[in-house]
Structure 1
Amino acid sequence: MSTFTLSIFNLFGGFVMAKNVIPDWLIWVYWFVPDSYTLRGLCVNQYRAAKFDVCVYDDVDYCAEYDMKMGEYLLKQYAVPSGHYWVWIDVIYLCCIYVFFMGLGAFVLEYKRYDGPGNVSLKPKHDINADKPEVGKITGKILLNGYEANDLAIRRATGYCEQMDVHSDASTIRESLTFSAFLRQDSDIPESKKYDTVNECLDLLDMHEIADKIVRGCSQEQMKRLVELAAQPSILFLDEPTSGLDAHSAKLIMDGPSSDVFFLFDHLLLLKRGGESVFVGEL
């Protein structure tokens, strides 16, 4: 779409096709596109300058032969108006069209942004439930155990793993988990307990062998298994945990839902399309 728009702007800007050769039923495009105002302003500013606004140029007396000065004559050949006031008209129009397109872009990005096909249904729900909406206006209430939840309650009770979390490249996996544990857990929890949480996460994720590896050198699969468990959340939101992984890595994280995966959980809530419950209960 952008390539097509730029092609229209360039074609009807007055350089590829002069104004006097554009069909009458398309002349409105010439008066709309910013390129024509830019070119017209530059031409008038150039050829009405003192160097070209003369009668005699290269031994040709334009005033005697054409009853106009040299700069005016050249502008007329390409149907460009020669009045100095056109420079200011063009500048004002370009400023207005800049404000218009910037405002239109801000509106579209704020209210009409579209996610890719893989994110259309799942990711916005994760963002809202985890209190991390990226775009648009969110209405409604978020309830936690039957009570309206505030930001602090949601952050303490939930963890949110995005497709590509941002990690410090210079830290190790153990340091990232430790940082997350100390930052996310309550201050009244002893430090020894927080360190125990880090070791427990390394055991659960089978990452002891690479615990002292720099994050910068980790694979995408290893980064997807990193920090949110250290906060000990009651609910963990996973945004497409197997996307971007090869078949083996995806199966190591979760390949399913297979029967083996279901037995890893104590309680299951299975939803179908539309948010209706299919099964809820103990396993």
Structure 2
Amino acid sequence: MSFPPTLKQLRYLVALHRTNHFGKAADACHVTQSTLSAGLQELENLLGTQLVERTKRSVMFTALGEEVVRRALVILNDVDDLTDMAAAAKDPLKGIVRLGIIPTIAPFLLPKIMPEIRNALPDLELHLREDKSAELCELIKTGELDLVLFALPFACGDVAEMPLFHDPFLVAFPAGEGPENGINSTELDESRLMLLEEGHCLREHALEACQLLGRGARRELSGTSLNTIVQMVAAGHGITLLPGMAVEAGLAEGAGVHVVPFKDMVPTRTIGLIWRKTNPRAKTFEALGNVIKKVMHHHGENLACAS
């Protein structure tokens, strides 16, 4: 009689696939490397086939190994959702919520919303992780995060979305340059426009805004963070689009830049929450989203709540 794979073995396999490194996978699973290796070997023996090709320098999954990982993710997410469903049935506003947040939102929004979340949902414990959109999206799929605070839209598979508010873009010039009270979209100089490097969703949303305005961007000049971009603008290398929440939080203060709004068409990005549609804690996430909505509605006139 053959026995089915254990959840522990499947978690070992998924961790190895995600990290592509036995030591890192073992750390993620809080076991020794020998324990993880033995568990994976038991899984291969149980299934009667090789799932992972092992060399001294690399880890490569076989075609069947990739398929087993794909199905293991579904199984593990279903098991986790089952546990969450039971917990949510007892008290949806209690327990741990693993929240991912992107770097172009985290430092500007968290100081505003965290105190209010603690007051409104005192029994909810937030575990935060900051990373780029693609990485957070993958963690949602693998079940390592419950939900993500994103700039929408972002293609992340079969997820539920809860738009919260609109964040307008403003234009940053070197100090002493640019109009005093605002700029028309037709006046934006695309030849001087700088954006974040590839991999940041803010770049994509800014490019979409530029297309909306009929403008392009200088792709040869980019920065690794909003702080870097602001410094480049201050040094006279060009101009950039900054999210309103960053400006409102003081990113441009004392930085040697002059920030102005658009006077005609105002490009925006939509800030919202996403989670797996199969996650049974939707009411929990909606309650969290409603607190954020309320905070941002009362916090500033420039940030409009999304419907």
Q: TM-score, normalised by structure 1?
A: 0.20
- Larger strand proportion of the pair: 2
- Larger helix proportion of the pair: 1
Question: Which one has more relative contact order, counting CA pairs under 8 Å at least 6 apart?
Answer: 2
